[in-house]
Amino acid sequence: MPAETSHHTKTSWSLVLPVKVLSRAKTRMAAAAGPLREALALAVAADTVAAALRCALVAEVIVVTDDPLAASELSALGARTVPDEPDRGLNPALAYGASVARRARPDVGVGAMSADLPALRPAELGRVLTAAAAFPESFVPDAAGVGTTLYAARPGVPFSPAFGPDSRARHAAQGARELALEDIASVRRDVDTPDDLRAALALGAGPRTTALAARLPSLSPGAETSTG
């Protein structure tokens, strides 16, 4: 793709991450996490944000959340937090965050990324964002191959996230390029269930998630696998 070289080498990115109100987050982890469910949700988001901010291609992380504790904790890490002003669901929240990002940095790309990637590695995210610069719109499928963990739009390209059920197919149908890269497992490993969390821990989750998971008996070595 020689024609795309200038984009490929120069684009930096603002990333928009949605974080639910913690009382409603990670409900599929309720049996495994019990009273620590909200703390686990925040730990996962914090490790995701911290890793994203360490990626050299990330100019800014914008967190869209209406949860005051999450806003405080993630702001302290260096993210910019904004309320879910539209309050009309996930994709409108991401579009709002992207509009904030583009007002602040109109010359950088904008990506929407899951906030539950606790094993995220900055170098792997960098590979994804470098590849994304070669296409107007692109996306990364999740580890299950059905959903999406990251959607990206280059500077000046309309930002049209299509997260939700079967989002891999929906993003592809609207013309976004699937980034089929090797060695980006940490970018694809989102966490919704106990098994997802076990997989993220096996990859090497961030410190807050690892410490919190160690307090959950159901996730200790040898514990019976749960499908959530």
Residue ranges at the known binding site for phosphoenolpyruvate: 148, 164, 167
Two structure tokens written together for 83: 């309320």
Q: How is residue 183 written in tokens?
A: 């060695």
- Which DSSP string do the residues of 55-104 spell out, in sequence order? STTEEEEEEEE--HHHHHHHHHHT-EEE--SS-S-HHHHHHHHHHHHHHH
CA 183 to CA 199: how far, in whole Å? 15
Residue holding tokens 């009309």? 88
Question: Residues for the chain: how many in total?
Answer: 228
Annotated binding site: 148, 164, 167
- Cβ distance 198 to 178 under 8 Å? no
